[in-house]
Chains A and B, each alone.
Chain A
Amino acid sequence: MSTVSAATALDRVLQHPAIWRRSSAGAARLRVQSSGWPELDARLPGGGWPLGALSEILFERDGLGEFGLTMPALAALTRARRRVVLVDPPYLPYPAALASAGVDLAYVTVLRGIGPEAPWSMEQCLRSGCCGAVLGWLAQADYRQLRRLQLAAASGDSLAILLRSASHAEQSSPAALRLLVSSSETNTFVDILKSRSMTEAAPAWTLR
């Protein structure tokens, strides 16, 4: 272990939101993973997906690009040899499409056909601390389970994203970030419904 990497390790410790330093007072630094979409990064506090916190993507229908939204981040994580776990996706994640988005399939694991065990599995992955990203399609999760997932996400350093139907937008959620993906006939929009430490509402972003 060289002194250089020890110093970077120390830096990472000092970036923890729970550590307050006089020199950086006022500019709370969040651990984030760039989403790879400059327009989205500009709207997110810290400039990316929050790490160690639960994010939610709510979508009106399948096929609006809600999963694609995470693709650049997943590609970056797998290229950095971090494990990505997809928990109970509704369809088969098509390997050819993942590969052409730049995702290294060697670091992708899909948990399929697990039904009621999905929340447990997602929580285990988040708690383990060895996953770069955990994405879950938990249609039936209730508030208590979301709260558990949020705590599990906070114990680790992973990108934790829950993808659910937009019908849950009205319910309260412990997630740190909530995005709503909606569409008109020709376009798809992304709205930020909720975000910790965001002061003003950002305008909707047109995804495609």
Chain B
Amino acid sequence: MLWACLRFPDLAFAAAFEDAPANEPRALADGPTARRHILAADAAAQAAGIRRGQSTATAHALCPPLLIRSRKPEVEQQLLEALAAWAYQFSAHVALAPPRAVLLEVGASLRLFGGWPALERRLREGLHALGHAHLLAAAPSAAAAWVLAGCRDGTALLQAAQLQPMLADVPLALGGLPADSASALRSMGLRQLGDLFRLPRPELSRRIGPEAMAWLDRLRGHGGETLPAWRPPERFERRIEFDRETGSIQALLFPLRHLTGSLANHLRARDGGVQRFELVLEHAATATTTVPVGLLSPQREAETLFDLARGRLQQLSLPAPVRAVTLRAAQLPMFRPLSRDLFEPVHGEGLDWPALLERLRARLGDGAAQSLATHPDHRPERAWRIGPLAAASPDPRPRPLWLLPHPCPLRPAPHRLLAGPERIESGWWDGGDTRRDYYVVQTDGGQRAWAYVPAGERQGWMLHGWFT
């Protein structure tokens, strides 16, 4: 086992200020209303003299434009889960270590990623791109990785034997022991973890209790560790709120790309796909607009999802300016990648038909792509259907390739009758009573037409189709 620990010291701050731009000094406050104090401050606030532990009143006096917000524990949890989802691409066993750390077992996938230095680089680059300050360390025990990430960023221990010497000079306060045990040990004059490791076990155990003793064993890699594996959730929902309302679809595309990007991340972590999702546009005054996006088969490529969602969005006319947009996917089915014939030459973009149909539907609307079917009815205008196929035997009688949606008068009357008449008389029972004599006729221009006259008559020609 090799555990990597990612610690995010600024997580609470990032969660509270997720949607606020950094154009004024910002600080995070915590504590009961009467004694709220500063927990963290950004660089601009620190330059103005804001320090951790100051009361909010002092902070406001020092820096009047300071933006103070309280912690948002539920957003912190969401953010931590998002980071766990991101980390899931590197390991099958990811565990949350609340409040601000994620553990991942990397021993099994170390060779895949080309060794720890390469994996560490990828982790750091990825987190940097996501914009999270982080500390990381790797050690054969999860507890040790957590402690080392806290005090020695970048440490990597591959051998269990290295654990004890490396942990020996870690200050007790950073050792992860329960708070009361740590303070009891401090008052005994013990300062570092190494001091504890030298003490006889029974005596130490009696003074600090079994819980802290078990932690010390975990640190040294002696006790077994069981960490509940984190699983990506079964659904996806993310909301982006705008600073000011926007009335143009174009302005929605940037947040949309963000949302589909994180959906794709989530899907990759789950090794799943998405077949239905919806975009919910919130307006200030009117009801929300919901844009459903349905796909024919599960997909998970960020680019594809964005293209399809954009196609749907661009058909829309916004009833009111948009204040926030949410992407919600309730079902995330299994994803099965397409299998292709290795030797089959791929032409063009190599899309398969469902993918092409999806692209067309996204831009043209659901109803634009139709399949045709014959329908057993003698009346020509009812002898076809749009939709799935019904089995039908070929009709030996002449039928035109083009059918006019509505018959129209044929002028001048045709002078050459090529075939007919074919009497079609049907529909008295459903109100669509039809009595017609159909002829194949040739017009003066040499066109072949399918035309009819009322049964038994020889005038009042109506054009119903072209033999094209």
Contacts and interface: CB of A to CB of B under 8 A. Distances in A.
A65 B467 contact: yes
Interface centre among B341, B348, B349 (most CB of A within 10 A): B348
B348 A9 contact: no
Interface of A: 1, 5-6, 9, 12-13, 52, 60-68, 71, 83, 89-102, 105-106, 108-114, 117, 120-121, 124-131, 152, 155-158, 183-188, 208
A60 B389 CA distance: 34
A110 B396 CA distance: 24
Contacts of A155: 347-349
A10 to B, nearest CB: 8
Interface string B285-326: 000000000000000000000000000000000000000000
A128 B348 contact: yes
A74 B345 CA distance: 22
Contact of B447 (A63, A98, A106): A63
A63 B399 contact: no
A68 B467 contact: yes
Interface of B: 341-353, 355-357, 359-360, 363-364, 367-375, 380, 383-385, 389, 392, 394-396, 399-405, 416, 442-449, 465-468
A161 to B, nearest CB: 13
A129 B344 contact: no
Majority SS at the chain A contact face = mixed
Nearest to B348: A129
Contacts of B360: 111, 121, 124-125
Nearest to B344: A9
Given A110-B372, A112-B368, A91 B394 contact: no
Given A65-B467, A67-B402, A95 B384 contact: yes
Nearest to B370: A110
A96 B422 CA distance: 16
22 contacts: A63-B402, A91-B465, A93-B403, A95-B372, A95-B385, A98-B372, A99-B395, A101-B401, A105-B371, A105-B373, A106-B389, A111-B360, A114-B368, A117-B363, A126-B348, A127-B351, A128-B351, A130-B356, A155-B348, A155-B349, A157-B348, A188-B446
